[in-house]
Each structure stands twice: as C-alpha cells, then as structure tokens.
C-alpha cells in the first residue's frame, strides 16, 4: 500500500535537491548568510552555553547538598544562581528554540530558499557569542548577584561592574532576539511557497509566528527597563531607588512585562516542534490542527496580560491581583487544548518509540506537572504562600527543563538526520532519555514539598530539617548533569561516523523532508508543493469514516476524518486525493 510520504516525495521530485551540501566545516565559523548554517551555529553555540549553565547549576546544588553555606562564599553563591538563570534563559532556551531550530526549519518548512533578511539573520546570531562571553567575563570582576530578576534597589547596591555587564549582555541578547523576530515575521508572512496558505503551514511555523510577535512586543520593554536601571547604576538617577523618590515596583512591572512572555518565547517553539514530532512518530495526523494553531495565537495574546502574577506579594493592589489571577488561569485553557490534542494524536497510532518520541512523551508528562503547579500558583491565596519558595523553583523547572529542554532534545533527535545527513545512535539516545528523566524528577519533584514546607529560594543556607530532601535534589542534579554526557558523545560521534541518513528517515510529510539530507545551499531546486497536507498520514478521501465519538464524515464540523474543518489541507491545485482538489489554492 502506498503511503502519504511516498506521494509527497513523488510530487516533490522536481523540487528535490540534487546535491547534498558538502559541509565544509569552516563556514560554521564565518559570517555565513545561509539560514541552515546560522541555525547550526545557534544550536552549537547555545548548547555550549547550556553546558556552562549546567556547570553553574551543579555548583548551586553542591552548595545546597548541606544546610550550611560551606562550598562557596554567599556572594559567589548568589552570582552562581544569577548567572545560571541568565545563561539558561537568554543564551540557551530562547536562542536555541527560536534562533536555532527556527532558523534551520522555518525556510525549509515553508519551501523558501532562505530567510527574508539573510544578513540581518547573521548579525542577530553574531551578537550572541560576544554577549555570552561578556556575561561570563563578569566572574572576573564580581559577577552580578541580584538574581536574574535583578530587582532594584538590591541590584544597585551589589557590585557595580558585574551588574553593568549583566545589563549590557541582556541588552545585546534582547536586540538579537528582536532582530530575529522581525526576520521570522516577514519570512513567514511573505515567503511561503505558492499554494501554502496560513492554515496549511506546519504547526511549528504557527508557533514561531506567535513567538516572534511576543519577542517583538515584549523584549523592547525590557530594554527600556535596562536603560533606566543602567542610569540608576552608573549616573545616580533615582528611577528605581526609593531613597531619591524612585519606585522599585515600576521596574518589576517593566521587567515582568517581558519576562513572563519570555516563558512563552521559550515554550511556544517547543510546542510547535512537539506537534511535528508526535504526529510523525505516531504515524497519525495531528489531532485538531487548527485548534493547536490558534491556541498558539491565544497563548501569545494572553501571555502579554498576565505579567503581574509574579508580583502578587509586592506592591500590587487588589484589583490587579484579581485581574492577573483570572488571565493567568485562562492561559491554562489553550495550553490544555494542546496537551489533549497531542494525547489524542498518540492514541491509536503506530508509535515508533524511539528517542524523538520518547523525549516528546517525556515532555508531555513533565510539562503537565508544570502546568498543574502553574494553575496553583496563579491562584492568589496560594501564590501568597508559595511565592519565592522552592515550589516556584520546582514549577519553573518543570516548565522550562521538563518542558522546553526535553522538547529541544526531542527536536535534536528528530532533525539531526536532516541537519547532518547522519542518524544518531538509538541505544545511547534511550540511555540519555532514561538518565535525564529519572535525574530530572529526582532533582525537582522534592522541591515542591520543600517550598510548601517553608524553604524560600535563593538561599545559600537553610534549616537543617530540609537537609534530606535537599540531598536527594542534589543527587538528582548530578544524575541530570551526567545524563548530558551520552548525548554529547552520541552527537559528536554520530556527526562524523553515524549511519548515513536517508532524505526522509522518519517518512515525514512536511517540506524539510522533501530535499536532500543535509539540504543543498538553497534548499530546493524548484518550489516544493503540498500534494498532501502537512499531516495527512493515513491519507484517505473525504468520505473516509474513522472510529471517533461524535464523528460523521458527511459533516465537516463533526467529522474526525479527512473532511474535518480542523485539518490542514493540501494545495488543491496539486492534491493527490481527488476529493482534496476542490476550492481555491491559497497564497498563489
């Protein structure tokens, strides 16, 4: 029986690249304007920073293995967690998800030859290494130690050079993020192949569109806060210094206006990638394409009006507390739609339980815990108890590590063959998954209890009654640190000696699989086409009945099969299935 992937590949033979990229390693060290080179530059650079951030995290956990402050000085401890958070957010998850995978995949997925502004793209990348090195160099002059939130007046009193370096590197990284966002928005709107309407884009493109809007709107406000903070720090103005009549709460508002959406900037691209991976590896269409696509947009919109839930215990008046509680709660709804849709996609599929899907399913299970604790902390009375405690530390790591990082790993395993032309070793992938899953839960699950019981965050020393749980967390953290090694070895070895990958090893339908692995310099020989929709696994005509409650193939609103209104349709001009050749082609 012929499968959807074969139809899509046949229809795209004219577009298929003829010559895989030679892969001269030197181009990765230069100012290349090829989006694929830039994407890999992003991924490698950010992964190095991830390792740096991981070392810092391991040091933090070493300090916390015992109740006393005995491993490093208290000042250094504060710097460790400050720089750890800054690195993980600004130098790993944000640039890896958007800059790395976004750059590599978006043009391929929409059938373009490159991003809309290739040189701007390269500039956005080349801001990152100097900004990262700048941040690291702060350890030479006394690293910033006011937390990644850098709340004044504390941040104005700790060491000035470190704080100034922190501000500068955040400004640089913010600029890079804005430039990348401009590029993605224009690329996605303007460079899709003829025949690909917005509702036919892969879900990762939707996610990147939502992410880019968030980055575009929210990041500048952080820049504004940084400008004012640097004036307070260097010139002695009093914007945020209460001694001179300034207001530290204004900083908190400006900071969180960016930093809450930043969470969505970190998780939305991963949502998009999980949608791709879950569908391909379950051999089933994504369940509720449009519901998932539009929920990304809903999260983007709502994400901009929830920021003050980080300030329920600071100078926030009652009506603001209530408003932000309700908006924060509502965000759980579009997020829930995604989670349930992924589960429905997996349900009844033919699961290829290899590393990409393992990490994707691990992602779902861990993200759900982060989501549930997220709803809890959105509730004002509960948040007032657990705000600034280890409960929050647990929550944010379940979202950003169990969520974003597990998702990024899934993406690495899924797209590595496309990027390098070689397969990753599956056994080592499974070992990597098992170690990180166990290590992660060991490290972060007990923190929920610690926080509720009364352990506040950002402390170098704590009540001895918390000692045993903390030791458990530290052991988990070490396991998590070790779990990176199989991945590193696997990637380095497979990149050079790995089994050669075919052009479409997972038999996916999205357009990045319709060219060589790795793709040639300009991706395609001609514009690729959507002979099938991006998720038409199992094919079938519009009359196909499927076994789903309430389903009726004759009514598009009720149908769960190919006639469903929620489906991403192929281009009618070239569709394989005659029943899909109705209606007008979009974007032509």
User: Of 264-293, which residues contact other proteins (CB under 8 A)?
Assistant: 282-291
- Cβ atoms of 493 and 425 closer than 8 Å: yes
Binding residues with other proteins: total (CB under 8 A): 186
- Which residue is listed with tokens 């070239």? 574
First vs last C-alpha separation in the chain: 32
Identify the residue among 72, 136, 305, 329 touching other proteins (CB under 8 A): 329
Stretch that binds other proteins, among 87-95, 162-170, 477-485, 544-552 (CB under 8 A): 544-552
State the Rg of the chain over Cα: 24
Tokens of 348: 């009844």
What is the pattern of x (binds other proteins, CB under 8 A) and - over residues 124-163?
---------------------xxx---x-xx-xxx-----
What is the pattern of x (binds other proteins, CB under 8 A) and - over residues 163-192?
---------------x--xxx-xx--xxx-
User: Of 68-127, which residues contact other proteins (CB under 8 A)?
Assistant: 69, 73-75, 78, 112-114, 116-120
Give the 3-state secondary structure of residue 422.
strand
Distance CA 127, CA 179 (A): 10
What is the pattern of x (binds other proteins, CB under 8 A) and - over residues 30-49?
---xx---------------
CA-based nearest residue to 85, from 43, 45, 54, 125: 54
Identify the residue among 129, 495, 546, 587 touching other proteins (CB under 8 A): 546
- Determine the distance from the C-alpha atom of residue 184 to the mean position of all C-alpha atoms in its chain, rounded to a whole number: 15
Q: How far is the CB of 500 from other proteins (least distance, A)?
A: 19
Any contact of residue 27 with other proteins (CB under 8 A)? no
Any contact of residue 420 with other proteins (CB under 8 A)? no
User: Of 294-323, which residues contact other proteins (CB under 8 A)?
Assistant: 313-322
User: Of 467-506, which residues contact other proteins (CB under 8 A)?
Assistant: none
Identify the residue among 192, 414, 448, 586 touching other proteins (CB under 8 A): 448
Distance CA 280, CA 273 (A): 11
User: What 8-state DSSP symbol labels residue 97?
Assistant: I
Identify the residue among 45, 103, 296, 389 touching other proteins (CB under 8 A): 389
- What H or E segment, with its residue span, contains residue 290? helix 289-303
Any contact of residue 59 with other proteins (CB under 8 A)? no
Q: How far is the CB of 107 from other proteins (least distance, A)?
A: 10
Q: H helices within 424-500, ranges in order? A: 426-453, 467-497
Any contact of residue 372 with other proteins (CB under 8 A)? yes
CA-based nearest residue to 533, from 568, 560, 565: 568
- Which residue is listed with tokens 């370096």? 165
Q: Residue 51 or 556: which CB sits closer to other proteins?
A: 556
Q: How far is the CB of 419 from other proteins (least distance, A)?
A: 19
Identify the residue among 265, 346, 393, 435 touching other proteins (CB under 8 A): 346
Cα four-point dihedral sign 271, 273, 279, 283:
negative
- Cβ atoms of 232 and 254 closer than 8 Å: no
Q: How far is the CB of 49 from other proteins (least distance, A)?
A: 23
Cα four-point dihedral sign 46, 51, 52, 57:
positive
- Which residue is listed with tokens 């900071």? 255
What is the pattern of x (binds other proteins, CB under 8 A) and - over residues 198-237?
------------------xxxxxx-xxx-xx--x---xxx
Tokens of 464: 């001895």
- Cβ atoms of 535 and 289 closer than 8 Å: yes
Q: Residue 380 or 400: which CB sits closer to other proteins?
A: 380
Any contact of residue 353 with other proteins (CB under 8 A)? yes
Stretch that binds other proteins, among 42-50, 162-170, 261-269, 536-544 (CB under 8 A): 536-544
């Amino acid at each position: 029986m012929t499968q959807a992937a074969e139809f899509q590949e046949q229809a795209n033979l004219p577009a298929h690249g003829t010559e895989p990229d030679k892969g001269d390693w030197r181009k990765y060290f230069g100012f290349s304007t090829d989006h694929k080179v830039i994407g890999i530059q992003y991924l490698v650079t950010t992964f190095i920073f991830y390792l740096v951030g991981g070392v810092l995290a391991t040091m933090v956990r070493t300090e916390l293995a015992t109740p006393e402050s005995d491993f490093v000085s208290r000042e250094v401890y504060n710097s460790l967690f400050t720089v750890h958070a800054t690195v993980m957010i600004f130098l790993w998850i944000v640039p890896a998800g958007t800059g790395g995978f976004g750059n590599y995949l978006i043009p391929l997925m929409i059938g373009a030859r490159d991003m809309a502004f290739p040189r701007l793209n390269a500039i956005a990348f080349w801001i990152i290494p100097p900004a990262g090195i700048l941040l690291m160099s702060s350890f030479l002059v006394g690293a910033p130690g006011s937390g990644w939130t850098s709340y004044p007046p504390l941040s104005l009193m700790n060491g000035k050079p470190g704080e100034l370096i922190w501000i500068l590197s955040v400004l640089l990284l913010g600029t890079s993020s804005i430039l990348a966002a401009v590029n993605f928005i224009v690329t996605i709107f303007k460079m899709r192949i003829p025949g690909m309407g917005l509702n036919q884009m892969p879900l990762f493109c939707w996610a990147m569109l939502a992410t880019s809007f968030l980055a575009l709107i929210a990041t500048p406000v952080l820049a504004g806060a940084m400008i004012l903070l640097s004036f307070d720090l260097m010139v002695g103005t009093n914007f945020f210094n209460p001694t001179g009549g300034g207001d530290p709460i204004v900083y908190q508002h400006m900071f969180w206006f960016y930093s809450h959406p930043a969470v969505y900037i970190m998780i939305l691209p991963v949502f998009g990638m999980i949608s791709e991976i879950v569908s391909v590896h379950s051999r089933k269409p994504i369940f509720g394409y449009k519901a998932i696509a539009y929920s990304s947009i809903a999260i983007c919109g709502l994400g901009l009006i929830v920021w003050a839930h980080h300030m329920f215990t600071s100078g926030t008046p009652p009506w603001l507390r209530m408003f932000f509680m309700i908006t924060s709660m509502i965000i759980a709804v579009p997020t829930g739609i995604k989670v349930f849709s992924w589960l429905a996609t997996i349900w009844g599929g033919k699961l290829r339980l290899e590393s990409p899907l393992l990490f994707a399913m691990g992602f779902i299970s861990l993200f759900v815990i982060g989501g549930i604790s997220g709803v809890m902390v959105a509730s004002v009375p509960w948040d007032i108890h657990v705000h600034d405690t280890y409960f929050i530390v647990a929550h944010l790591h379940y979202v950003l590590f169990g969520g974003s990082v597990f998702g990024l790993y899934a993406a690495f395993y899924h797209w590595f063959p496309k990027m390098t032309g070689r397969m990753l070793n599956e056994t080592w992938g499974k070992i990597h998954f098992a170690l990180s899953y166990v290590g992660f839960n060991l490290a972060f699950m007990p923190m929920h209890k610690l926080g509720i019981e009364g352990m506040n965050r950002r402390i170098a020393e704590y009540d001895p009654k918390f000692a045993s749980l903390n030791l458990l967390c530290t052991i988990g953290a070490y396991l998590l640190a070790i779990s990176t090694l199989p991945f590193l070895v696997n990637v380095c070895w497979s990149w050079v000696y790995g089994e050669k990958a075919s052009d479409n090893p997972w038999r996916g339908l999205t357009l990045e699989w319709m060219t060589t692995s790795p793709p040639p310099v300009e991706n395609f020989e001609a514009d690729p086409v959507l002979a099938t929709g991006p998720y038409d696994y199992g094919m079938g005509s519009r009359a196909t009945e499927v076994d789903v409650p309430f389903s009726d193939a004759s009514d598009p609103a009720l149908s769960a099969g190919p006639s469903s209104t929620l489906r991403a349709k192929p281009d009618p001009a070239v569709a394989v299935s005659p029943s899909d050749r109705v209606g007008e082609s979009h974007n032509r």
